[in-house]
């Protein structure tokens, strides 16, 4: 009988396991794949997460980026410096995730990889987790099995507000030029953008859409964009995956179980940043389970409330910005992205030094003023 079973060994699951084990709890971390495993993801990580751990992340970082280059339909470029205390990290998820898992194991967490979960059952006063090998028992569960996981469904979260975005990504081996620069392309894709993040031995190029709409030729768009860097994406393996975007306050707890990471739909609806909020939610989930094990009857409901208040309230502002920006992206690019202060503000938001609520009102007013000139009757 474990104090807690954590399902999913991505950044959320590994972080929850690390912090719970460090607090002296018995933890079992389950992962369906054999570790290390590839995970499609741009791999941009806010250095803010270093504040939440007591070890050095250097072995897990491929490159550090201190400059952003934007383009509109592959032209009209602008480059800006990230004014953050520490450059943004670029990581490969197989390395980064496995590194976090090993830190959790170092604190005493047990790992079972290559162990898909087939279902869960409430048995008396604890959870039984069914696997191909044997049933496993835990007093509490943390579901961190990502956007495509089944744990939320099995735990009875039937009325969840899930807003899915989509992404297509390629890992392209290449000689990297300007390894300190991350690239963002607007205008070629509706309701989203293209990203190109450098790694030590190539690029992670992806395309994401965050507001739905008509189908788009992701592969064709990516191939056209990749020619700038001399890359043929058809020669690289392609990965498609959903994005679980924040879409309003939600219940993240049930009987002795919590949702964390993308299973909790915490992805930023404007930037699609997922790793930092996933880790943040997982650490709070670990704290809540620790308190519940100590007898705090309100610990799990308080977890839902805290994530809704601390993360969700600001994501409501991100949703407002996304709603206007992706509806009028060219105006957003001209009056927003190209402003010298825009990158500084986004860097501070991703490092926790500012919140969307601090900057969105001003940004929307600038866009509204410009749209008022371009679109008769726009308010």
Domain termination residue (choose one: 228, 244, 260)? 244
Q: Is the pLDDT of residue 121 over 70?
A: yes
Residue 86, CA distances (Å) to 78, 197, 200, 244 in order: 22, 17, 18, 28
pLDDT at 236: 82
Total structural domains in the chain? 3
Count the residues in the chain. Answer: 379
Inside any domain, residue 200 = yes
Give residue 216's pLDDT. Answer: 87
Which residues are CB-neighbours of 373 under 8 A, at least 6 positions away?
none
**Per-residue confidence (pLDDT) for residue 376, from 0 to 100:** 52
Lowest mean pLDDT among 52-66, 154-168, 226-240: 154-168
Residue 150, domain member (yes or no): yes
pLDDT of residue 39: 85
Residue 292 pLDDT class (50, 70, 90 cuts): very high
Please check whether residues 103 and 193 belong to one and the same domain.
Answer: no
Residue whose C-alpha is closest to residue 322's, from 281, 275, 273: 273
Of the residues 193, 210, 244, the one at which a domain ends = 244
Residue that finishes a domain, picked among 244, 267, 283: 244
Residues 183 and 52 in one domain: no
% of the chain beyond a pLDDT of 90: 73
**Both structure tokens of 340:** 């010298």
375 band by pLDDT with thresholds 50, 70 and 90? low
Q: What is the pLDDT of residue 173?
A: 78
| Dist CA 163 CA 265 (whole Å) | 8
Predicted local confidence at residue 103, as pLDDT: 98
Give the CATH number for residue 216.
3.30.9.10
> Is 150 found in the same domain as 51?
yes
Give the integer Cα–Cα distance in Å for 301 and 304.
5
72 falls within a domain: no
How many Å apart are CA 143 and CA 4, to the nearest integer? Answer: 11
Q: Which domain holds residue 333?
A: 328-374
pLDDT at 355 over 70: yes
Q: What is the CATH number of the domain that holds 264?
A: 3.50.50.60
Are residue 132 and residue 52 in the same domain, yes or no? yes
Same domain, 205 and 354: no
My answer on whether 250 and 240 are in the same domain is no
Same structural domain, 146 and 176: no
Q: Residue 354, class by beta-carbon neighbours within 10 Å (0-12 exposed, 13-18 middle, 19+ buried)?
A: middle
Q: Are 283 and 224 in the same domain?
A: no
**Same domain assignment for residues 130 and 228:** no
Using the predicted structure, report yes or no on whether residue 127 has a pLDDT greater than 90.
yes
Q: Is residue 33 domain-shared with residue 108, that is, in the same domain?
A: yes
Q: Check whether residue 240 and residue 258 sit in a common domain.
A: no
Q: Residue 322 domain-assigned?
A: no
Average pLDDT over residues 100-112: 98
Tell me if the bond preceding 51 is cis, omega within 30° of 0.
no
For position 370, what pLDDT does the model report? 82
* The predicted structure's pLDDT at residue 233: 84
Residue 78 within any structural domain of the chain: no
Give the per-residue pLDDT at 163.
79
More confident residue, 232 or 276: 276
Alpha carbon distance 187, 185 (integer Å): 7
Give the number of C-alpha atoms closer than 13 A to the C-alpha of residue 314, restricted to the C-beta side: 19
Q: Report if residue 379 sits inside a domain.
A: no
Same domain for 188 and 91? no
Say how far apart CA 262 and CA 273 lie, in whole Å: 11
371: tokens are: 């749209």
Q: Is residue 70 part of a domain?
A: no
Average pLDDT value for the chain? 92
354 in any annotated domain = yes
Condensed to tens digits (0 to 9), the pLDDT of residues 49-105 reads 999 999 999 999 999 999 999 999 999 999 999 888 899 999 999 999 999 999 999
Confidence check: pLDDT of 164 > 80: no
pLDDT tens for residues 14-39?
999 999 999 999 999 999 999 999 88
């Amino acid at each position: 009988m474990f104090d807690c079973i954590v399902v999913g060994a991505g950044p959320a699951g590994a972080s929850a396991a690390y912090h719970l084990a460090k607090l002296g709890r018995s933890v079992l971390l389950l992962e369906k794949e054999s570790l290390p495993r590839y995970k499609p993801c741009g791999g941009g990580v806010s250095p803010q997460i270093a504040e939440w751990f007591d070890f050095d992340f250097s072995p897990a970082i491929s490159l550090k980026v201190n400059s952003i280059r934007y383009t509109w339909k592959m032209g009209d470029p602008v480059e800006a410096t990230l004014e953050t205390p520490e450059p943004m990290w670029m990581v490969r998820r197989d390395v980064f995730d496995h590194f976090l898992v090993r830190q959790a194991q170092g604190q005493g967490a047990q790992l079972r990889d290559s162990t898909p979960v087939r279902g869960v059952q409430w048995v008396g006063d604890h959870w039984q987790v069914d696997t191909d090998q044997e049933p496993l028992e835990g007093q509490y569960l943390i579901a961190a099995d990502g956007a495509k996981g089944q744990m939320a469904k099995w735990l009875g979260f039937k009325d969840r507000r899930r807003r899915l975005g989509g992404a297509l990504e390629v890992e392209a081996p290449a000689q990297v030029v300007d390894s300190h620069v991350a690239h963002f392309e607007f205008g070629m894709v509706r309701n989203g953008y293209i990203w190109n993040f450098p790694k030590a031995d190539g690029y992670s190029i992806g395309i994401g859409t965050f507001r739905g709409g008509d189908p788009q030729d992701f592969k064709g768009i990516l191939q056209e964009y990749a020619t700038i860097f001399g890359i043929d994406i058809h020669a690289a393996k392609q990965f498609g995956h959903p994005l679980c975007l924040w879409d309003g306050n939600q219940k993240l707890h049930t009987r002795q179980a919590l949702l964390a990471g993308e299973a909790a739909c915490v992805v930023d609806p404007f930037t699609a940043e997922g790793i930092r909020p996933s880790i943040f939610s997982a650490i709070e989930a670990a704290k809540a389970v620790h308190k519940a094990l100590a007898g705090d009857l309100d610990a799990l409901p308080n977890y839902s409330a805290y994530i809704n208040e601390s993360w969700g309230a600001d994501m409501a502002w991100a949703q407002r910005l996304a709603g206007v920006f992706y509806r009028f992206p060219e105006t957003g690019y001209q009056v927003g992205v190209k402003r010298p202060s825009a990158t500084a503000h986004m860097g501070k938001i991703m490092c926790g030094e500012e919140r969307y609520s601090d900057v969105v009102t001003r940004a929307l007013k600038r866009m509204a003023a410009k749209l008022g000139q371009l679109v008769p009757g726009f308010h």
